[in-house]
Amino acid sequence: MAIVYVDKKPYQMNPDENLLHGCLSQGLKLPYFCWHPALGSVGACRQCAVKQFKDEHDEHGKIVMSCLTPAKEGTRISIDDPEVAAFRSAIIEGLMLNHPHDCAVCDEGGECHLQDMTVMTGHDYRRYEFDKRTFRNQNLGPLVNHEMNRCIQCYRCVRYYRDYAGGDDLNAFAMRNTVFFGRHEDGALENEFSGNLVEICPTGVFTDKTLKRHYARKWDQQFAPSVCVHCALGCNIDSGERYGTLRRVVNRYNHEVNGYFLCDRGRFGYEFVNSDRRFLYPLLKGQLTSAVQARFHLTESVTNGRVIGIGSPRASLEANFALRNLVGPQCFHSGMADGEAKLVGRMLDILRQGSMRTPTVCEIEDCDAVFILGEDITNVAPRMALAVRQSVRQQPMEIADELKIPLWMDYGVRDAMQNAKGPLYIATPYRTRLDEIATATFRAAPDDLARLGFAVAHALDSSSPSAEDFPLAGEIAHALKAAKKPLVISGTSCASEPMIQAAANVAMAAHAALSFTAPECNTVGATLMGGNSLSAAFQAVQDGQADTVIILENDLYRRAPAAEVDSFLETAAHVIVLDHLSNPTAEKAELVLPAGTFAESDGTLVSSEGRAQRFFQVFVPRNDVSASWRWLKPDHWHNLDDVLGAMATALPQLAPVRYAAPSASFRLAGAKIPRSPHRESGRTAMLVNIDVSEPKPPDDPDSALSFSMEGTPDKPPAALIPFFWSPGWNSIQAVNTYQKEIGGPLRGGHAGVRLFEPAPVNGQCYFNAIPPAFAPREGEWLLVPMFHIFGSDELSLSAPGIAELAAKPFVAMNTTDLPEGAEVDVICAGTTLRLPVRLRPDLPPGVASLPAGVAGITLPIWGKIARTT
Ligand code: SF4
Ligand code: SF4
Ligand code: FES
């Protein structure tokens, strides 16, 4: 650490960073706009000026930008010097000349970085009396709102969108002193990470359009720490509620997982919680019934029937365990499609018994050679794709190092790199968004992708088996071998066990990290819990061994062919479903129990990294909605800690899950942690239509969080941070004050607990089940799944903004026989689907593609495609 003197006081600062980073890490108040810890410095706004002195005798000094000046040993600066304070005040006055000062009607008001910095700088009087420059705003689609007049030209938006996230439809359009940040024409932003503009823009230019539909100020929302439920990566979120409506989701910084950014599915998919398709009361034979009656019916069914339970990879560990406990381990089924359960089981065996580390998302950013086998990660594990976009900068950044350009000097580094990209190889059945930054791509059917993987492993280590020599295999092997931190990514998308094994061989041979994607938010947790297969559940009912089925948060029509599910549900005498939203399975239930979503219940999810993370309810559920585990629990489990304790005893492999977050008895300075901000207004009037006296806030027996603004103002443990807010820091950039060092871990420790780490090297053997080469069939197509960030996830599809952007059903084909849009019948698995053709010349011969999640069809599968007459 270097000693830097700020206003004559010594501070320890990281010498590899700049002075702004150092000052903020020390809690000093220094305003800034264009710098961002994830984007680095460009010196565009001049707001972070400080005075720098040559030595202790220098009285005069010179004004420098702290974000552009290294924190070298012995540096002497002043923040308080009157000349530099006046400079910063003049700068913000200039930046604000055309700003509309419309805080009262601005969605950012009260949580605005510009407001915070204006106050910090002391600019409190407007002298400018002339006409302001104005712009026409654009319609940027259903997710992000645009109000350009509030812009202060800091350029963060385009730097984030283009340089960091790889978007190309947002830019700065400039003429003289008029600079416009937007698209070349109205239209939905195309980048999958556009929602981060809401947090990146320091003003109210880009705001959350979904929040606008049910707006509440930050101080009027109640928050809870939570985990995204829309893919398996487990990004950390804070959810905000008012009057029983979930208002929005914001990023909850987790240094090791999502850092500062979420994908748009994760940020905007939350609106399914407010859907009018929610179950709010129990339904018995299609009629509303009371919770008491529903519980009685559930108990009767369990007591008198031969019961089996079907769990779910999108339900919490606690909910799955409560069902397992109710029906007994022998009668519990994991609820995953058979093939998927087997594949994920293999993946976990590899990760738990092998020596390859499954990296955090943060570690993926640091990898310097990546091989992706069979996965379109932008659409399957989006935040991972954003990390891979940063990883391709690692090798070229060595040029900047050699030129002694500090890595935080963003434009200097980018100039030195000249768009150079490090090694990224992508082998998938169809083109992916990341192809544009790939060193090379390879298109083939799943079996041939697996064969490529085996060949790469063989090129790395000749003792590993291979059947064929692919020209690209040697190049990929060379890149992985030369890298300091190589990474292999694969997963379940192609439903190919040989591909998973090939990826493991490559990682073993290259001594690389290995990351597997998984389909749903708790796929890994459900697999660790175990359970019988779904087909065994079907068989049990068919054979008469069971007559009553309890289905937990699971639409079985997404797991198995429709005919099989139909027969299963019709044969079972009693079908009981717990779920949030109506779906084809729930429609066939005798009894439906309204299950709390992530916003109304507490629980634990295990991410594809193997990280168990706790989510907490943000509001007490309305009507009869209750956490699934509460519907299913025995009387002697009183709170979440009781469920976790029982689970740790029954399933030792899940015992560490208890430490994913502090227990309900945790107190900070003797108090609970408030979900409501201390500036919450109107609390006493909220329920005045019911009672003029302020009612006691509801108790929360399950967590150390209170439904109130009372509690300790200290920084809570990382897993319990409901919102980021500090004196003088009202925007989300208050996170600065929660970090040990800016951009580093939180002071409150880590959120979540990793359930598996690499085993010591123990003579691990290579897999050798190499599949035969793919052979196209005459008159048939191999149908593989195509994933979409908007549309492939079941729950987010019920959010209106996501539904608007979701891909409509199609069949993608590489053919010259049919025109784009021609209607065809796709015949497979005993089903005929009429779909329009989407021409995709990137698909290999003999391979066609359907959107993932097509009901009742387990892909890949062979099918016929016939033109309709
Ligand atoms: S739109 Fe926002 S992020 Fe972009 S330049 Fe303007 S103030 Fe900065
Ligand atoms: S990457 Fe996955 S976990 Fe992260 S925000 Fe997106 S959908 Fe949610
Ligand atoms: S933050 Fe330093 S110039 Fe903008």
pLDDT one-digit tens code per residue, 671-720: 999 999 887 777 777 777 878 887 888 999 999 999 988 887 678 999 99
DSSP code of residue 240: E
Q: What is the pLDDT of residues 631-661, one digit of tens each?
A: 999 999 999 999 999 999 999 999 999 999 9
DSSP code of residue 844: P
Pocket lining: 228 vs ligand 2, CB cutoff 6 Å: yes
pLDDT of 789 reads 97
Task: From the CA of 155, give the closest atom in ligand 1.
Answer: 5
Question: What is the mean predicted confidence (pLDDT) over 111-120?
Answer: 96
Pocket lining: 64 vs ligand 3, CB cutoff 6 Å: no
Question: Which residue, judged by its Cα, is nearest atom 4 of ligand 2?
Answer: 235
Mean predicted lDDT score pLDDT of the chain = 95
Structure tokens at 173: 């359009």
Name the more confident of 610 and 682. Answer: 610
Residues making up the chain, counted from first to last: 869
In this predicted structure, the answer to whether residue 764 has a pLDDT above a threshold of 80 is no
pLDDT of 695 reads 80
Pocket lining: 48 vs ligand 3, CB cutoff 6 Å: yes
Pocket lining: 848 vs ligand 2, CB cutoff 6 Å: no
Q: Where are the alpha helices (DSSP H) in 101-227?
A: 113-121, 156-158, 197-200, 209-212
Q: Which of 503, 487, 525, 489 is nearest to 344 (CA)?
A: 525
Task: From the CA of 262, give the closest atom in ligand 2.
Answer: 5
pLDDT of 831 reads 85
- CB contact at 8 A, 12 and 28: no
Question: Which residue, judged by its Cα, is nearest atom 7 of ligand 1?
Answer: 151
Structure tokens at 305: 């029937």
Question: What is the mean predicted confidence (pLDDT) over 736-742?
Answer: 96
pLDDT of 762 reads 65
CA 28 – ligand 3 centroid, Å: 15
Q: How far is CA 713 from CA 467, 615, 820, in A?
A: 63, 21, 60
Q: How far is CA 380 from CA 85, 138, 559, in A?
A: 48, 30, 17
- CB contact at 8 A, 196 and 261: yes
Q: Kindly give, in sequence order, each residue whose CB lies less than 8 Å from that of residue 65, ignoring residues fewer than 6 positions away.
A: 20, 41, 43, 46, 48, 49, 50
Question: Which residue, judged by its Cα, is nearest atom 2 of ligand 1?
Answer: 201
- CB contact at 8 A, 487 and 370: yes
β-strand pairing of 283-284 with 591-594 = antiparallel
Q: Which of 214, 167, 170, 173 is nearest to 193 (CA)?
A: 167
Question: Which residue, judged by its Cα, is nearest atom 4 of ligand 1?
Answer: 157
Residue among 230, 249, 598, 795 to mutate when testing ligand 2 (max atoms within 8 A of CB)? 230
pLDDT of 340 reads 95
Q: What is the pLDDT of residues 303-347, one digit of tens each?
A: 998 999 999 999 999 999 999 999 999 999 999 999 999 999 999
Residue with tokens 């387990």: 858
Question: Which residue, judged by its Cα, is nearest atom 1 of ligand 2?
Answer: 383
pLDDT of 263 reads 98
Helix (H) or strand (E) holding 861: strand 861-867
- CB contact at 8 A, 537 and 568: yes
What are the counts of helices (DSSP H) followed by strands (DSSP E) for the chain? 24, 35
Pocket lining: 611 vs ligand 2, CB cutoff 6 Å: no
In angstroms and rounded to an integer, the radius of gyration of the C-alpha atoms of the chain is: 28
Residue with tokens 């903020």: 24
Alpha carbon of residue 515 to chain centroid: 16
pLDDT band (50, 70, 90) for residue 593? very high
Query: What is d(CA 301, CA 468) in angstroms, rounded to the nearest whole number?
Result: 57
In this predicted structure, the answer to whether residue 392 has a pLDDT above a threshold of 90 is yes
Pocket lining: 140 vs ligand 1, CB cutoff 6 Å: no
Residue with tokens 């717990």: 578
25-39, 67-81, 326-340, 710-724, range with the lowest pLDDT: 710-724
pLDDT of 857 reads 78
Residue with tokens 């062919």: 561
Ligand nearest to the CA of 380: 2
Q: What is the pLDDT of residues 427-480, one digit of tens each?
A: 999 999 999 999 999 999 999 999 999 999 999 999 999 888 899 999 999 999
Residue with tokens 């070349």: 184
Q: What is the pLDDT of residues 351-367, one digit of tens each?
A: 998 889 999 999 999 99
Q: Which of 632, 651, 629 is nearest to 640 (CA)?
A: 629
In this predicted structure, the answer to whether residue 104 has a pLDDT above a threshold of 70 is yes
| Helix (H/G/I), strand (E/B), else coil: 732 | helix
Question: What is the mean predicted confidence (pLDDT) over 836-861?
Answer: 89
Question: What is the mean predicted confidence (pLDDT) over 204-224?
Answer: 96
- CB contact at 8 A, 858 and 337: yes
pLDDT of 785 reads 95
The DSSP annotation for 584-599 comes to TTGGG-SEEEEB--TT
pLDDT of 712 reads 78
Q: Kindly give, in sequence order, each residue whose CB lies less than 8 Å from that of residue 592, ignoring residues fewer than 6 positions away.
A: 279, 282, 283, 576, 577, 578, 579, 586
pLDDT of 678 reads 82
pLDDT of 242 reads 93
- CB contact at 8 A, 425 and 442: yes
Residue with tokens 């806030």: 697
- CB contact at 8 A, 281 and 624: yes
pLDDT of 855 reads 61
Structure tokens at 11: 């501070």
φ, ψ of residue 395 to 5 degrees: the values are: -65, -50
Question: What is the mean predicted confidence (pLDDT) over 2-7?
Answer: 97
Q: Could you tell me which residues are beta bridge partners of residue 591?
A: 284, 576
260-274, 607-621, 636-650, 687-701, range with the lowest pLDDT: 687-701
pLDDT of 679 reads 74
β-strand pairing of 206-208 with 144-146 = antiparallel
- CB contact at 8 A, 61 and 51: yes
- CB contact at 8 A, 269 and 795: yes
- CB contact at 8 A, 789 and 263: yes
Q: How far is CA 494 from CA 73, 334, 851, in A?
A: 53, 21, 13
Pocket lining: 265 vs ligand 2, CB cutoff 6 Å: yes
Q: Which of 817, 820, 859 is nearest to 840 (CA)?
A: 820
Instruction: Return the exposure string of 171-200: e unless at least 16 CB atoms fall within 10 Å of the residue's CB, then b.
Output: beeeeeeeebbbbeeeebbebbbbbbbbbb
Task: From the CA of 383, give the closest atom in ligand 2.
Answer: 1
In this predicted structure, the answer to whether residue 775 has a pLDDT above a threshold of 90 is yes
pLDDT of 869 reads 67
Query: What is d(CA 292, CA 298) in angstroms, rounded to the nearest whole number?
Result: 10
Question: What is the mean predicted confidence (pLDDT) over 821-849?
Answer: 93
Pocket lining: 151 vs ligand 1, CB cutoff 6 Å: yes
Ligand nearest to the CA of 250: 2
Pocket lining: 63 vs ligand 3, CB cutoff 6 Å: no
Q: Which of 337, 313, 375, 336 is nearest to 520 (CA)?
A: 313
% of the chain surpassing 90 pLDDT: 90
